[in-house]
Structure 1
């Protein structure tokens, strides 16, 4: 039986369009119908792009005319509502920006369109892209399609929910500390935060602190993430952090030229982890070993010396506060919880700021040392599966922690700029997705995509779609 178009990944949809087995109009209409059917429950979509069907008709005409087609020709994609889209509202999760409509695409959106992609819709996020639950005063709260009483995460939670529920095959999110990988783990999809600077942040807000912000692809397959990344990577002459030149090789069979060596860990250095999640990481490591990969448990001493979440908190608040203050000046009554909380936080002393900067350097050195011996690292993404809405304290493996601790395994990659990919490899006792994180050395996206594709091929997960 042929699966519905909304259950096919972007790579397959592009193949079917290229061979004229389906039309871009059929594909876009199928996803628009899916949005109409399930988004009232999920609330992932903020704005549907009015020009989506017109763009699909133009894509269909190009196929019929025999024009040269891009790798994503006719394939719909969605975009987090902090990323500028020309002629389509970009409201940043706040009534302060209600109706804001850019006249120019962000670099990442322009590149998706240049590859033939059709902008379908904008997706929900927390206020100012700043929290681990996608809820705001403008467009409300997004729900997890696996369990509507739970969160799809943040800050790219609307994007993860849309893709998991079949409303979109492919999308763009942003990541400050967890925001591409965490939502992917909570909804069971695949996402990648590339090396810092690999994809320009031009046309995305907020950009402070720029050294921690990333934009990355989100999808339901490793090959889709690789394909999108191949179109997104490279400097644009505007984002000075984006300087790495040369095309990215999408070949998922690429390997580092010697037998793969992979370490795995769930701590120490990340905070407490639920045993069910830890067991999933161990299962992924065992699966790689079964494929002939050299795998061993490891530790990274730098993570034990300097807790990356503490380092991040001491560094980023001083840079976020001025950006939030500027955005909300004169609109204080329209701020939601996290913007208010951020502005109320005490300033970091100069001594603490310098100490945190030095700690960040030690973390980078620690990972650099690790990657002289190993090609990749397998960790958890989140210490627990998707949690109930509104919860801000958790007991994890007998230890009580606040919600910021959910970032324990993801934030080190933002502090250091390392690439990391989140992919599903397990299911909780309650039927919720459990993802693992594949981490690589700087600019080693090819390696982590290769490792992820190996894991995808032996994944024990069979039910990739929630019943919604």
Structure 2
């Protein structure tokens, strides 16, 4: 089904907001929308491998949603709109296998709260998406469901750990999805496939029903989508305490639009380092272009540095803090299992030396210094603009990179994303450029704690002047 309906785009490249509006106005039916995405999956997922399981309830729910429209019932904001969820997020009576043969055939009894809230808003669960084993790596590959490929170039990764989700949305298999983020995992995959994603303030969206839960102070669940307005809508649906996740914070003041326009120009700093590791010049150029665009829109923009990130490298701090807790979760999951059921990432984690108590305490203090450094920064600025990844999407399986003349291992791709997990700050990943090889390059907009409205508003401004926000892979 390739009928062009809105902005001359086919159904499968419409954003969720447009689909919901067209469903409410009876310009299109939920059945047509769900079928269009199922057709897209059937046609292209054999090469992309983003989808792990198709929900066998999707078409039944689409038919029920269509009846509700025809009866004139009051409709929820996502009525009849399909969504997907990463396969570490529990879905009632739909397989949730966590990227491992150890959990093959696992059928949860309840939905994760994030899935339940999407359904309560009228969304229809379409499918579960691929991920690395136990959600732990920057590529999405595992022994159970194999490797996901980037729809912009199948020889490249769509990232991890929410790489199946990013690939599905970029390829038109889903308009909206849920991913999780420990250090990079909704923002990095979005950057590698040219979609948008939100890692909200830590605790804003409950993690109930998602595994692993440790280290809980770093884990987030967040929306991935085609447009900033979809992120805004999804965040308004997903945020707020659930009474089970103790980190989940109160909703606060937030509307379902882009947030109120600020009074006067925003104070915005932009930086690509030091403190993030090396960055490719073409990525730097895209960040600078976004800074210039914001300045042209009337905001006060200047190049900045955050000394706390230079004193304590956030990636090193994160590594010292999370290893022991993750190892315990992995040991428990793999206990008594055969070696051929465990993929290389869990094996690598289990082989790491434990962090000494002294190093752990030092790292906790360093994390506090980084938080203080950002607090000081946000006393002077409303927003930070930086990169998401130091390079565009890379080839599968690459373990070392030469970036701007410096040799680094693959973990350094998290250099600009992991500070937000260490601190709990909110950040948006959105496309604003293209590499010389034709691959997406995203920027990252960071706000102070609970400032989702500010970063959503500013991202929508950049989206309105971007000439790359509505590009799609030619698969």
TM-score by length of 2: 0.98
Shift of residue 244, structure 1, vs aligned partner: 1.7
Number of the residue aligned with 1:344 = 351
Q: Cα RMSD over matched residues?
A: 0.9
**Residues 1:200 and 2:175 aligned together:** no
Shift of residue 248, structure 1, vs aligned partner: 2.4
Number of the residue aligned with 2:467 = 460
Contact 2:197 2:428 in 1 (8 A): yes
Shift of residue 247, structure 1, vs aligned partner: 5.4
Number of the residue aligned with 2:183 = 177
Identify which of 110, 135, 156 aligns with 1:129.
Answer: 135
Shift of residue 390, structure 1, vs aligned partner: 0.4
**Structure 2 SS opposite 1:269:** coil
**Structure 2 SS opposite 1:226:** helix
Contact 1:88 1:101 in 2 (8 A): yes
| Cα distance in 2 for residues equivalent to 1:433 and 1:166 | 16
Number of the residue aligned with 1:261 = 267
Task: Deviation per CA, 1:157-181: give whole Å up to 9, x if none.
Answer: 0000000000000000000000000
Matches within 5 A, 1:67-86: 67-86=73-92
| Cα distance in 2 for residues equivalent to 1:189 and 1:420 | 14
Matches within 5 A, 1:4-15: 4-15=10-21
Shift of residue 65, structure 1, vs aligned partner: 1.2
Task: Deviation per CA, 1:5-25: give whole Å up to 9, x if none.
Answer: 001000000000000111100
Task: Deviation per CA, 1:132-169: give whole Å up to 9, x if none.
Answer: 00000000000000000000000000000000000000
Identify which of 433, 445, 460 aligns with 1:426.
Answer: 433
| Cα distance in 1 for residues equivalent to 2:145 and 2:74 | 39
Number of the residue aligned with 2:329 = 323
Number of the residue aligned with 1:279 = 285
Question: More deviation in 65-74 or 382-391?
Answer: 65-74
Shift of residue 257, structure 1, vs aligned partner: 3.6
Shift of residue 318, structure 1, vs aligned partner: 1.0
| Cα distance in 1 for residues equivalent to 2:296 and 2:460 | 14
Number of the residue aligned with 1:116 = 122
Number of the residue aligned with 1:398 = 405
Task: Deviation per CA, 1:232-252: give whole Å up to 9, x if none.
Answer: 000000000002234521221
TM-score by length of 1: 0.99
Task: Deviation per CA, 1:400-440: give whole Å up to 9, x if none.
Answer: 00000000000000000000000000000000000000000
Question: How many residues are treated as equivalent by the alignment?
Answer: 468
**Structure 2 SS opposite 1:22:** coil
Identify which of 27, 34, 45 aligns with 1:28.
Answer: 34
Question: More deviation in 244-253 or 48-57?
Answer: 244-253
Contact 1:124 1:156 in 2 (8 A): yes
Contact 1:250 1:446 in 2 (8 A): no
Task: Deviation per CA, 1:2-55: give whole Å up to 9, x if none.
Answer: 321001000000000000111100000000000000100100000000000001
Number of the residue aligned with 1:290 = 296
Q: Which runs of 5+ in 2 are unaligned?
A: none
Shift of residue 103, structure 1, vs aligned partner: 1.0
Identify which of 58, 72, 97 aligns with 2:103.
Answer: 97
Shift of residue 255, structure 1, vs aligned partner: 3.2
Task: Deviation per CA, 1:166-208: give whole Å up to 9, x if none.
Answer: 0000000000000000000000000000000000000000010
**Structure 2 SS opposite 1:158:** helix
Contact 1:144 1:161 in 2 (8 A): yes
Contact 1:186 1:385 in 2 (8 A): yes
